Amino acid sequence: MDISIVIPAYNEQNKIRFDVEAASAFIQSRNWRGEVIVVDDGSRDHTGEEAQKVSPPPGVDRHVVRHPWNRGKGAAVRTGILASKGDVVLYADSGTCVPYSDALPPIERIRSGQLDLALASRRHEKTVIHRDQKLKRRVLSLGFRWMTRLITGLPRSISDSQCGFKVYSGAAAKSLFMIMETDGFLFEIEVLLLALHRGLRLEEFPIHWTCDPDTRLQPGRIAAGVLKGLFRIRSRMKRMILQIKKIRP
């Protein structure tokens, strides 16, 4: 299978049909064989039912996987990626903030064997922002990036770890998400650190981005757990490094 598109969703009944249709149309436009996997992360609305209503075009399979309760974005993306069959795996947040066509250059680089992982970046010099986040959210994001670099050592070369639009080779995606443990939104940090630790080839790419103001992320309510989560990820990476040193002769 050429490509799998994974869409994690929580209480997205008003958007999910458009998400599935946009992803399916992208696959069909390239004459690829592909699948769209929606992971309904314990939604309290009709997200799963709305996703099921979409009839994909020929050559595109549509799957809906449901979590019985809300486990977190990291858990939802992991479920979708481990269920995927594509040679290339793309994960995209609900809301279609980034047009799928922006993924074409990194997809081609991955398919040609030049790259393992590509990260959409809202801070790339060639990125076009059609509607930005509110000032408060931008300030919080700046503080989050600073804390992440300070605590986990994520390199400055990664300018936007949290953009919900990433492209993997199928093999790289499976290898990373099989061992990724973080269930919440900090999973992005753990996955990137694991990728760097394993020497995978990754780079950022520019996008056309439109902020979706209808977000499920509430920074003020989760701020207290961010520091704890970042320290937990740092501890896990240190343990992995120590284990490898013990194994090496």
Query: pLDDT tens digits for 110-126?
Result: 999 999 999 999 999 99
* Domain encompassing residue 110: 3-247
Distance CA 2, CA 170 (A): 10
136 — phi, psi (to 5°)?
Answer: -60, -40
Q: Which two tokens stand for residue 215?
A: 């977000």
Give the start-end residues of each E strand in the chain.
3-9, 34-41, 60-67, 88-92, 117-120, 128-131, 165-169, 202-205, 208-210
Q: Could you tell me the pLDDT band of residue 216, with boundaries at 50, 70 and 90?
A: low
Residue 186: per-residue pLDDT? 96
Q: How many domains does the chain have?
A: 1
CATH code of the domain in which 120 resides: 3.90.550.10
Is residue 220 pLDDT above 70, yes or no?
no
